[in-house]
Each structure stands twice: as C-alpha cells, then as structure tokens.
Chain A
Amino acid sequence: MKKNKIVEFCKDFSRKKLSLRQREEFSAYLFVLIPIIGFLIFSLASICYSFYYAFTNFNPILGVSKWVGFDNFVDLFSDPKFLDACLNTVILLASIPIGVTLGLLLAVYLKKLAHGSMLLSLLYYLPAVTSAVAINVIFNYIFKGDYGILNEVLGINLYWISEDDGGLVKLAIIIKNVWASIGSTMILYLSGLNNIPNEYYEAADVMGASKWQQLVNITIPMSNPTTFYILVTGIIGGLQSYADSQILAQGVSGGRTIVYYIWTYGIGNNANFGLASAASVFLALVIIALSIIQFSRNKMFKKVR
C-alpha cells in the first residue's frame, strides 16, 4: 500500500498535478537529500562510535575495550597537560579577530583601488596557497632564537619557541595564523562587498558622511553575514589546529593544543583511544555549544524559518 502511494505521488509530480506548495517542498527535500546522507554516513555514525569509545578503555593494540564510565573524563580533567592544552587553544583563537579586522580593512581598500589590486590581492593570498608543511618549517626559521630572521630584522634576541616563555610561543603562532588568514578573509569580504549597493555610499557622500562613518555605518553592518561566517569557521578551525604545535612550535608546552594532546598523549604514546575519544568528544561538544550561541544571535538563522 505504502509503495503505491509513493508511486502515485511521483506520477502526480511528473504530471504537475501537485500544488505549487507541494512541488516546492518535494523539490527542496530532494535538493538537501545528498548532504543529509553524507552527514548520516560520515559524521553521525562516526561520532556515535567515538562517543561510545569515550566511555571505554579502548586500546586497539591490546584489543581491549571495556566500559569504564566517566573514568576517561576524570583522567582528562585531572591532567594538567590537558587543561594547559585547553587554555592554549583558547588563547590562540586571538588570531581570529585580528585577522578579521585586517582582512576587512584590506578588502575595503582593494575595492577602492583602481589599479594594481590584482597583484596586491594575489600577494596577500600567497600564504593561503602555500603548502602548510613548508610554511610551518619557514616560520620555524623566522622565529628561531639564535640569529632567527625576525630577531635579526628587529635587532633583538628573543627565544620565541622555548619551554621557558610560553607566552612568546603563542604570540608567534598567532602572528603566523594572522599572516596565513588575511588572504582568505580578504577574499570573502571582497565577494561580500559586491552585495553592498553603491548608492548607499553615494547617499552618504551627499549627506557629508566621512569615510570612517561610512565604514562603520554601512560597510561593517552590511558585511555582517561574511563576518559571521568567518568567525564561525575560524573558531571551528582554530579549535582544531595541530600543525602549529607540531611543526612550528616543535611540541613546546606553551604551544600544545587540544588536538595535539589527542594525537600525542592519546593515540600516539599509548594508543589510549578511550582517552583520545573522550578529549575529542569534549572538543566537539565545546564547538557545538559555541556555534549554537553564535547562531542564535545571527540574522541568517532567523531568516530561515
């Protein structure tokens, strides 16, 4: 019976017997179907497994997997290394607002520029197209203590990457991340600025508004969706950073992030997948919570009924 109904519906659909409303709904479900399937297979199923592992002492080398309740979480939050990693990860997020601000200003400037904006935007985008491995190796040379490039240029002798001064490691990583992200931020803003009608600025000019006022009252509010996107994806990406700790910071304690902790102390050393899963589930929950807060305050979401 049920099958017949579906067949009927499809026939109706092809004969355009359905109401416009029904057609719209049916088409929409078809349109979103594939990503939903992808989500079910690759994300939902996997996260459920990880969630289960988080409550076991799963160790694939030894082949044990016993239910241990909240033990992994207790271990995690009593490990000063993990707490440090959490703190480091949060501090390293500071590169996002800096990158957003610089990227926006740059996009505004490049949009105004008549000539040479092609070359400039390419130059600013270069970091994004360069191999992450090579970038990290190079920044390691730049932030070297003995005769490192930055020290030589500034005429100072700081040990950026060392156990002694964790603060400097973080600063080095933040500088590198700002450097690496400006290009992408700029591009997103450039494509977003297209959507701001010119007559807004013309009207503002007529009313005698200064360039600064135009930036604050027109450009920034009108770029809100872009800013929101960059912030959300930036935080999601930033919370998952790994290569910075591994290659640039050489595993120095001040630069260890949560994901570094998961790989090195969870999986790498002891194949303690239970602990690693607990840490990654915790990370997922934090990201989801943060995103929900961001989303609930955003207009885009309100527009979607």
Chain B
Amino acid sequence: MRKMRALIALPILVLTLASCGRNEDNPEQENPTGEGANISFFGWGSNEEQANFKKLVNYYNEHNEKKIHVIYSATDSNNYMVSLSIKSENLPDVFYMPDYSFYSWAASGRLMRLDDTSSSLSISEEELDPIWDKAVDMYRFDKNSLTLGSGDLYGLPKDLGPYTLVYNKDLLEECIESSGGKLALPSATEPMTFTEFSEYCAAIQVELDKISPDVKKYAVSSYEIMPAVYSNNSDFYKGEDKRTSNVSDPNFYEAIQFIADLNLKYRAMPSAAEQTTTNGFIRFQSGNCVFTNMGPWDMTSFWNLDFDFDVIPVAKGDDKDAKSTAWVGSVAYCISQKSRNKAAALDFIKFLSLSEESNRMNYELGQAMPNIEEMAKTDFVNNVGIDDEAKKRPENKQLFVDIVSGENPEINGQNRAAYFCPSSTPYNNLLDSLNTVWTGQDTAEEWAAHYNATFQKNLNDVYEFF
C-alpha cells in the first residue's frame, strides 16, 4: 500500500518541482550589461560544424570580458525551419536564417534591426565596410516597398557560398591518357559553353566506359538548374517585383533542356532515378564521376578525399552575351526582436560574422570563404596559415572569389531563386514537376508551355500576405 501511495505522490511532486523552476523573469526587461549573458542559440549543422562553432565560442569567451554561454545546440537541418516556425513566438536570442527563408521573416518584424543608428545598439557603416557588399545587402529588406537588397539590415552573414563545378582530377587524367591526348583538362578561368560542356562530357563518358567497364562511372553526377538558367541569360521570375513567372522564356527552358540532354542525348549523366538513389556527393566521394558541384563549405570533407580535385566555372549559354553565373547561397545570424540580451547577442554575432579571428578560423577549418573581402582576395586565395598540402585544395580558390566579386567579366554569381520569394514552395514544386522532362516524356519546351500557368499560380499564392 505504501508503494502505491508513493506512486500517486510522484506526479504531484513532479508538478510542484516544475512550477518552482518556472522562469519568472520579466520578458521585456533588457539585460543592460550583457555580462555573463546566457545567449540561447539555435542552428543546424554537421557535428564538425558544431564542434567548430564551439571553438569560436570558446575563443570569444577567452578574449572578452563579457562571457557568452550558448544554451542551444544545433538540430537537424530538415526539421530546423519547422522548429523555428513553431518557436516563432519564443525565439532564441540568436539563430540561423537561411537566405531562402529571409523574405518572410524579415517582413514579419520578428527580427531585430541591426543598423538602427538612433538606437545605442547598432552596427556602423564602418564596421560593415570590409565585408562583401553582396553578403551584407542580401540581408537588407525594405518593409514598406517589400524589396530585398536595400533598406534596413536584419542579419549578418554567416558565410557567402558560391556553388560551382568541381572535377576529379585523377579520374579525368586517366580519361585523357586513355583518349591518347584528344582530351585536355578544362580551363580554370574560361567557362565552357553548354555545347562545349555537353560534348566534353560525352567524350569523357566514352573513355570512362573503357576504363571502368564493371562499375558504371559518369562524366557528370548531376547538374544544378539555377546555374544553367542564370548562365543562359534567364531567370525564374520577371518584372520589377519578381512576381511574374519567367518559365515560358525560351532561354529558361533551353537551359532545362541542356541538363536533360546530358542524360537523354549524351548519356553522360545518370538518370533522375539514379541520382535519387546515389546523390552527386557520394558518387563523387566514391570516385564514380568526374564532375559534381561544390561550395566552400564542402572543403572540410573534400580534404579527406584520396584523389585530387579542382573547381571550374559553370557552363554558360551558347549566346554571345551569356555569362557563367553560379548561385551563391548564404545563411545569416539573426537576433530576435524580443531578445532580452540584445547587447550581448549583437556583440556576439559581430564577432562571428565580422571579426578577423572568426573569418580566419572559418577558412582554415575549411568551412567557408571569408566574409571580409580583402582577406578572401589575399589570405584565402593564397592559403595563408595553411601548411598541410591537402588542405590547400582546391587550387583554383580564386574562382570562388571571382563568382562573388563579379570583377572577372566572364564570371558572375547570383542569389538562389527561393531567396527572392517569401516561400520556397513555388521553386520546390517546379523542381518536382520537372520529372517528365528528365525522363524525356516531355521536352522542356512542352513542359514550360503547360507549367507556366501553374508556376504563376503558386507565386500568386505565396504573395497572399504581402
């Protein structure tokens, strides 16, 4: 009987305990000093990234009088946006904001404005000066005109990631040898045209089938849609406010057809089904393809590869005025408008995003290209501070810089399509609908003719609140 009584008492005990521990702080009260502040942080990342993040936090605490204690650790990226929107009324102090979600969050008023000079808490223009303009402007949003790229600043870039083509040098050299010198290594600076790239891949494929008759190897693992569209003088949306579908643009669907043909016509790329089953990353890692895609954040994993690799610009359209344009992805650090530790949080994200130490650590760890323009152009490209030969790869780091800076007339970079839109749904649905093109059931032109209206409808839907 006594046992039973204890069992009944337990939940009551637990409930009492819980109510005692309740946080009774006044939510509006600002912690003025930020001294010893507990910053709650929310983000995602692989374990390596988390470990590196901890290193940054430790460095910060060693060198600052104000100590930061990070409460949250990261969660899995799939559930991140779900969790963040569930938590939207109780946001952590600092959190990641991927570029493709920035629009609706910036419009919601839940993010703290970072450059409000009338407030004591703000970032000055001088502090932002050394940073890539592209990276800073990405997180500006004008609430009145609902335009991205200008207006108030709501986030500081964690990184700026150009995504370009990478090739397995060892495998490609084998192909060149087997071809008897008919093939050559691709140029590191001169982008190929769509036709050149397709034919180049087809030629590689012939050699690959000779070299490896048992294990199927492909010239290219997969091809991104955005760089193909951007590099063919086209875009997903048109109009000043980017609210109109541009799918029916011939340049748009020709770019799609170029990708489909890599598989259907040239047989140099795995089918969509094969791509789902083994993604490009794993295919590349296993040495089973020559080309795949790479961003600076992949450097850590690629350093462990047992073959040599290098990056080249993405292919450009056959038109004369087409320009090789890769997509540039990014994630920002944002601060909650309701945060009680704004001073400490701002100081902390300034360190993470703008400081030399943090940026240097990021590239030395193979995580990102520096946010500081000067550092990217000199130290990053010249591998300053990196002794290990394997960690100096890829050799052509200048390309990452060129994509972002736009200083090379042949090469450019552009934001991801979903960035320009309050929701990634239209873009994701578009990707889903392309399956008939990949299988050859429809040509890209036929697809565009019937999908244009659907895409427009999806766009109209997401602008319901704006």
Contact = CB atoms under 8 A, between A and B. Distances in A.
Interface stretch (B40-48, B105-113, B229-237, B302-310): B105-113
A61 B104 contact: yes
Interface stretch (A16-24, A116-124, A262-270): A262-270
Interface in A36-60: 57, 59-60
A146 B274 CA distance: 7
A269 B277 contact: no
Classify chain A: how many residues form its interface, as a range: 20 to 34
Contacts of A273: 85
Interface string B451-466: 0000000000010110
B425 A60 contact: no
Interface in B404-439: 422-425, 428, 432, 435, 438-439
B278 A146 contact: yes
B56 interface: no
Given A59-B465, A64-B465, A268 B273 contact: no
B85 A62 contact: no
A165 interface: yes
Contact of B277 (A59, A63, A148): A148
B285 to A, nearest CB: 13
B272 A163 contact: yes
Contact of A265 (B104, B108, B425, B439): B425
Contact of A144 (B278, B425, B432): B278
B435 A164 contact: yes
Nearest to B276: A162
A145 B104 contact: no
B256 to A, nearest CB: 16
Contacts of A265: 425
A253 B432 contact: yes
Given A61-B85, A62-B107, A163 B276 contact: yes
B86 interface: yes
B82 interface: yes
B89 interface: yes
Given A61-B104, A62-B104, A265-B425, A145 B277 contact: yes
Which residue of B85, B272, B277, B462 has the most chain A CB atoms within 10 A of its CB atom? B277
Contacts of A268: 81-82, 85
A188 interface: no
A107 interface: no
A228 to B, nearest CB: 30
A271 interface: yes
A145 B278 contact: yes
B216 interface: yes
A250 interface: yes
Contacts of A190: none
B78 to A, nearest CB: 7
A160 B423 CA distance: 31
Which residue of B81, B85, B462 has the most chain A CB atoms within 10 A of its CB atom? B85
Given A60-B86, A61-B85, A159 B273 contact: yes
A268 B80 CA distance: 8
Contacts of A60: 85-86, 88-89
Contacts of B435: 163-164
Interface string A119-163: 000000000000000000000000011101000000000011111
A164 B272 contact: yes
Contact of B276 (A57, A61, A63, A161): A161
A60 B82 CA distance: 11
A271 B274 CA distance: 32
A174 B432 CA distance: 24
A246 interface: yes
A252 B273 CA distance: 10
Which residue of A161, A163, A165, A265 has the most chain B CB atoms within 10 A of its CB atom? A163
A253 B105 CA distance: 28
18 contacts: A60-B89, A61-B104, A62-B104, A62-B107, A62-B108, A62-B465, A145-B273, A145-B277, A146-B216, A148-B277, A159-B277, A162-B274, A163-B438, A164-B271, A164-B273, A269-B424, A270-B422, A271-B88
Nearest 4 pairs between A and B by C-beta? A145-B277, A162-B273, A159-B273, A271-B85
Interface of B: 78, 81-82, 85-86, 88-89, 104-105, 107-110, 216, 271-274, 276-278, 422-425, 428, 432, 435, 438-439, 462, 464-465
